[in-house]
Amino acid sequence: MQAIDEREGTAPPPLLPPLRRPALPPARTAVGALTTAAALAAVLLLPRLVGTTWHDVRGAVGHLGAVDVLGLLVLWVAGLCCCSKVLTASLPGLTSGRALLLNLTGSAVAGAVPLGGALGMWLNTSMLRRWSFRGRDIASFTVTSNVVDVVGKLLFVLPVLVAALAAGGLPQVPGATGWALALAATMVVMAAGTLLAGTDRGLDRLAALTAAAAALAARLRRRPGRAEVAARTRGRLLDVRTAVGERLRSAWRPLMTAVLAYVGLQALLAVLCLHLAGVRLPVVTLLAAFAVDRVVSAVPITPSGAGFAEAAACAVLVGAGGDPRHVLAGVLLYRLFLVVLEVPVGGVLLGGWLLAGRAVPARTASALAVARGGLR
């Protein structure tokens, strides 16, 4: 309990709550270490899988000058600014600076930790709470920004892959039919879930499924029954759906413009990296490789699909006739900007934010001490 000032009879204002660290079970930590090791091993084995050496890869990008690197950095920063526009349009009251901080810190965690998407979401939620946003606003922001991100990627990936197939810009990869069917099935499930959430009857079914999933835990521990869980879950889902619907209806133009510009700038960055590395293939093939990279990166096998995404993009480009050393050099170069660079930059910003958060309670306590001393 807080001490009561004897002279004033009032309690001092509460300090900002400390940022609690998520508890990671040993099993999850072990799985994270194994997947990180697998990602590093996959990246190290890429030259042998593609048919080149690390020496040849370094030689393919050794001619890059300061102007080339600066131009790629400008594109990278422009893409981040477009992404921050998506976030500010998803949450009224969020500034561009804070949106950029959310993007970089969340991406740093997601890119450095296996299955880090959930941890990055927890971190962003904690930051938004520190900035005095409410739970309903945070939930609608999370759903809106993720839905817009997925829709923007699909609007880019699907036409590019169709155009590449029609133009003969994709190689005949073994098992391509199976992968295409799996991707189509995943899209159908996502679309069905979206349609269910958009109707009252579907919302009831989603709430019932959520309650059924929690039935086992309810039996093992003293928790509310299935009917109560379903009713409470439906209320929360309905509240979030209403907020998301209002945001999409009022801001769909800036949201779609920003997300399409973001994905487009990422694609342009990838094409330029491949071109600077010496890959001489049709642009539609380069875009198809980037699209495949984005799809594989979404699979949470390793952090940001490390190892697997590069291998998939290289398979497309080498299969289409690209030189293995130039292909691997270009793929690693654009992955450096899209994924790797965000980890140290976001880590530094996260460290600064944590230090600033600790300094605020200290300054508040110091000010209270000074004020109390002045009253005596």
pLDDT tens profile 269-315 = 999 999 999 899 989 899 999 988 888 887 767 777 778 888 888 88
What would the pLDDT profile of 123-179 be if each residue is shown by its tens digit?
888 899 888 888 778 888 888 888 888 888 888 888 887 777 777 666 655 555 555
CA distance 76 to 70: 10
CA distance 104 to 98: 10
Show the DSSP H helices in 24-172 as ranges.
26-44, 46-50, 54-61, 66-90, 96-112, 116-130, 135-167
What is the chain's length? Answer: 376
CA distance 314 to 320: 10
Look at the alpha carbons of 269, 89, 125, 296 in this order and tell me if their dihedral is positive or negative.
Answer: negative
Give the three-class secondary structure for 18: coil
Contact call for residues 310 and 303 (beta carbons, < 8 A): no
CA distance 156 to 149: 11
CA distance 127 to 256: 25
Task: Say whether pTM exceeds 0.75.
Answer: no
The CB-side HSE value for 85 (13 A sphere, CA atoms) comes to 19
Report the amino acid identity of residue 85. K
Output DSSP code: residue 304. Answer: G
CA distance 327 to 43: 14
Is 115 exposed, middle or buried, given 0-12, 13-18 or 19+ CB atoms closer than 10 A?
middle
Q: How far is CA 100 from CA 77, 303, 337, in A?
A: 10, 21, 16
The values of phi and psi at residue 6, to 5°, are -65, -35
CA distance 259 to 307: 26
Positions in the chain whose pLDDT score sits under 70 = 1-39, 41-42, 113-117, 168-243, 300, 357-376
CA distance 298 to 110: 11
Return the ∠ at Cα 294 (arms to 292 and 296), rounded to 5°. Answer: 70
Q: Which residues contact 43 (CB under 8 A, 6 or more apart)?
A: 306, 307, 310
Instruction: Specify the pLDDT at position 166.
Output: 72
CA distance 62 to 81: 29
Instruction: Specify the pLDDT at position 215.
Output: 61
Contact call for residues 55 and 65 (beta carbons, < 8 A): no
Instruction: Specify the pLDDT at position 99.
Output: 92
The values of phi and psi at residue 281, to 5°, are -130, 160
Locate 241 and state its tokens: 């759906």
Contact call for residues 84 and 103 (beta carbons, < 8 A): yes
